[in-house]
């Protein structure tokens, strides 16, 4: 998914206010966590930006399916343990007091069955009283077909244009990203296809409650996409 764009991931998403997001995360963790420990696992950790801001306050580890993004995360956080794994099937030798799955990465499970499986897998890695925080992707009602999106980066040594038109196929949102990347060595062009499941609020709630989690929902969350906070 992010194989070709991993090296420019942070430039593409430079608009994100990671500092503010982590302040909200810390507030929600302190409010809801009941376990005595401080171990945090960031699932779909991407380039490790959240981890970089949380590692002074938590005993952090990261997990991601994309090897290229993990390499970026490791370079940023050489003192942190990272794991390659799928959020629907990862297995670790320990449990955590906090598990996060942010920036709508949960949408990449695509189907409701895999949503249930992934949340079960996460909950199995939570200590009693531990907290799971999931930032959802858009729902079927809030994802709009045919919208043209563009991101532009204009730095002295890096120019990027990324465009796509929102589509839905068989109930799954399709983001066909088209990139133009300019550096001193020339201009590169490549495409990436991202497919994310469109789940309803009730589907998220059912998947969480099925795993005996006590759930609180914040409709605003970190980036106005909402936030599910579930305690084991």
Per-residue confidence (pLDDT) for residue 66, from 0 to 100: 98
Chain segment 121-176, per-residue pLDDT in tens: 999 999 999 999 999 999 999 999 999 999 999 999 999 999 999 999 999 999 99
Strands, sheet with 227-231, edge to edge from the N-terminal-most edge strand: 81-84, 59-64, 39-43, 96-101, 126-134, 227-231, 214-218
Question: Is residue 1 very low, low, confident or very high in pLDDT (cuts 50, 70, 90)?
Answer: confident
Per-residue confidence (pLDDT) for residue 166, from 0 to 100: 97
Chain segment 207-221, per-residue pLDDT in tens: 999 999 999 999 999
Strand, helix or coil for residue 184: coil
In CATH terms, the fold of domain 148-197 is 2.20.130
Per-residue confidence (pLDDT) for residue 26, from 0 to 100: 98
Start-to-end CA span in the chain (Å): 31
pLDDT exceeding 90 applies to what percent of the chain? 100
Q: Phi and psi of 109, rounded to 5°?
A: -70, -25
* Mean pLDDT along residues 83-112: 98
Domain ranges of the chain: 6-139+199-231, 148-197
The two beta strands, 186-197 and 227-231, are unpaired
**CB-based contact 116:203 (threshold 8 Å):** no
Chain segment 5-51, per-residue pLDDT in tens: 999 999 999 999 999 999 999 999 999 999 999 999 999 999 999 99
* Mean pLDDT along residues 44-69: 98
- 6-139+199-231 placed in CATH 3.40.50.150: yes
- Supply the pTM of this predicted model: 0.97
Whether the predicted pLDDT of 74 surpasses 90: yes
Candidates 109, 92, 87, 5; CA nearest to 43 is: 87
């Amino acid at each position: 998914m992010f194989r070709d764009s991993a090296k420019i991931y942070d430039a593409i998403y430079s608009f994100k206010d990671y500092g503010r997001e982590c302040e909200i995360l810390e507030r929600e963790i302190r409010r809801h966590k009941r376990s005595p420990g401080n171990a945090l696992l960031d699932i779909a950790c991407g380039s490790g930006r959240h981890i970089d801001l949380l590692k002074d306050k938590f005993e952090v580890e990261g997990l991601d399916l994309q090897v290229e993004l993990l390499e970026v995360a490791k370079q940023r956080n050489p003192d942190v343990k990272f794991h390659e794994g799928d959020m629907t099937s990862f297995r670790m030798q320990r449990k955590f007091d906090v598990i996060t799955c942010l920036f709508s990465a949960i949408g990449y499970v695509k189907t409701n069955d895999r949503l249930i499986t992934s949340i079960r897998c996460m909950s199995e890695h939570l200590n009693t009283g531990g907290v799971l925080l999931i930032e959802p992707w858009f729902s079927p009602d809030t994802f709009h077909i045919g919208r043209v999106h563009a991101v532009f980066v204009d730095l002295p040594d890096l120019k990027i244009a990324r465009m796509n038109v929102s589509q839905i196929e068989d109930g799954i949102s399709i983001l066909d990203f088209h990139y133009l990347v300019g550096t001193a060595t020339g201009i590169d062009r490549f495409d990436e296809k991202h497919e994310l499941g469109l789940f309803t609020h009730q589907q998220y709630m059912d998947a969480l409650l099925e795993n005996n989690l006590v759930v609180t929902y914040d409709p605003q969350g970190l980036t106005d996409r909402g936030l599910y906070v579930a305690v084991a």
